[in-house]
Amino acid sequence: MRRTAAALAAVLLLTAASQRDRGDHPHWTRAQVATLRSLSLGSLGPPPPDASNAHADDAGAAALGERLFSDRRLSANGRVSCAACHDPKRDFQDGRRLGKGIGLTARRTMTLVGVGHAQWLFWDGRKDSLWSQALAPLTHPHEMGATSALVARVVREHYRREYEAVFGPLRSSTQTFVDVGKALEAFERTIEQGRSRFDRYADSVARGRPSSALTQQEARGLALFIGRAGCTNCHSGPLFTNGEFHNTGVPQTGRPDRGRATGAPSVLADEFNCRGRFSDAKRADCVALEFIVARGRQLEGAFKPPSLRNVSRRAPYMHAGQFATLRRVLEHYRRAPAATVGHSELHPLRLTDADLDDLAAFLGSLSS
């Protein structure tokens, strides 16, 4: 009798799940359709111009940058390249909890896919251009550990013809070092996202056409994502990030990381920022720096939300790889624990386990 009851219960559960999966896709309101359109890659466009780098969209600079990107001779031990942490086969990241070059870093490696659209670079936004960001790992003692002199020597001995075709005659080691960063930016600006099933779905809905690009479960997750789960508060736009900085109460590991509270003053003091002597920009082009708030409670423990495109393939998660799975991430947002550094923006969400399943399914549809 017990076996019969258990079997009946299993059938009822399967029937309920089947009925739930056969439910119609959500009926999207006009406002929701506008949101879906804003999240589609079709609304992205090319990377914005970078006035601080006159060679940002130079094909010759990009070709040079692509070669430099994989050159291990640019590291102190001859074993580490940019591609070692930003592996093209792994969505231009490394799949590690913490980045590892010559030594171990304190944060997770961010993907470079779509990075040409970012205004602030690194988890704390301590760089304001892609070329100045590219310079930091070259000389960081735990990443590539090089010097500007070593970088200039590699260019002089192995890339002189390609370099001079773009930048003119070799100059000082520091200027050559800077130009390497600008060539790397030109290459990295070409690393763009591919279309996902979500994009096909969103574009069909925007045209008023039905679409089977998402399953019912994924569509329910999408409705939660843009609705009561509040995910678009941080993950908005076609790259699924607003590029700003938020404290979401992510647990700290080891020494407390203050995030934007250290990044904001760093970018203002950076010799390679938009207003620095190595920038190709006019001061009027550097307006963003004028609006940086360099201190305040809202900066403590705040980090830049990464793009969610291809997120299901990029475990572990958060700025120091604190969560091994997407499910753990979603459970964190549901609970909204207090922050150990600063003040968390989160509030507990009334989401069921089934809701989390739906959200995780939707996030999988962002892969390309």
pLDDT tier at 82, thresholds 50, 70, 90 = very high
The yes-or-no verdict on residue 8 having pLDDT over 80 is no
Which letter, b or e, does each residue of 120-158 get, where b requires 16 or more Cβ atoms within 10 Å of its Cβ?
bbbbbbbbbbbbbbbbbbbbbeebbbbebebbbbbbeee
pLDDT band for position 186 (cuts 50, 70, 90): very high
Query: What's residue 359's pLDDT?
Result: 98
Structure tokens at 156: 């002089």
What per-residue confidence (pLDDT) applies to 254?
84
Maximal CA-CA distance, the chain: 89
pLDDT digits (tens, 9 = 90+) for 357-366: 999 999 999 9
Contact between 154 and 64 under an 8 Å Cβ cutoff? The reply is: no
Nearest to 344 by CA among 234, 263, 254: 234
Decide which of 240 and 210 is more confident. Answer: 240
* CA atoms of 46 and 292, how far apart (whole Å): 25
pLDDT band of residue 20 (cuts 50, 70, 90) is very low
> Which position has the higher pLDDT, 257 or 1?
257
**pLDDT band per the 50, 70, 90 thresholds, residue 21:** very low
Please give the mean pLDDT across all residues of the chain. 93
pLDDT tens sequence across 121-175: 999 999 999 999 999 999 999 999 999 999 999 999 999 999 999 999 999 999 9
Tens-digit pLDDT profile for residues 292-324: 999 999 999 999 999 999 999 999 999 999 999
Q: Under CATH, what is the fold of the domain 48-192+260-297?
A: Cytochrome Bc1 Complex; Chain D, domain 2 (1.10.760)
Going by the DSSP 8-state scheme, the letter that residue 275 receives in this structure is: T
Least confident of 6-20, 41-55, 251-265, 322-336: 6-20
Helix, strand or coil, per DSSP, at residue 316: coil
Q: Are 265 and 295 in contact (CB under 8 A)?
A: yes
> How many angstroms separate the CA atoms of 333 and 346, rounded?
7
Per-domain residue ranges of the chain = 25-44+194-254+300-364, 48-192+260-297
Tell me what pLDDT residue 64 has: 98
Domains 25-44+194-254+300-364 and 48-192+260-297 alike in fold: yes
Residue 3 pLDDT greater than 70, yes or no = no
Coil, strand or helix: which one is 246? strand
Determine the Cα–Cα distance for residues 184 and 135; give it in Å rounded to an integer: 9
Q: What is the pLDDT of residue 24?
A: 61
Euclidean distance between CA atoms 286 and 275, whole angstroms: 6
Q: What is the mean pLDDT of residues 98-124?
A: 97
SS3 (DSSP) at 219:
helix
| Category of 78 on φ-ψ map: left (φ > 0), alpha (ψ -120 to 50) or beta | left
- pLDDT band with cut points at 50, 70 and 90 for residue 14: very low
Q: Which residues contact 320 (CB under 8 A, 6 or more apart)?
A: 97, 98, 106, 107, 108, 252, 253, 254, 257
Q: Which of 52, 350, 360 is nearest to 230 (CA)?
A: 350
pLDDT given at position 23: 47
CATH number of the 25-44+194-254+300-364 domain: 1.10.760.10
> Which pLDDT belongs to residue 9?
41
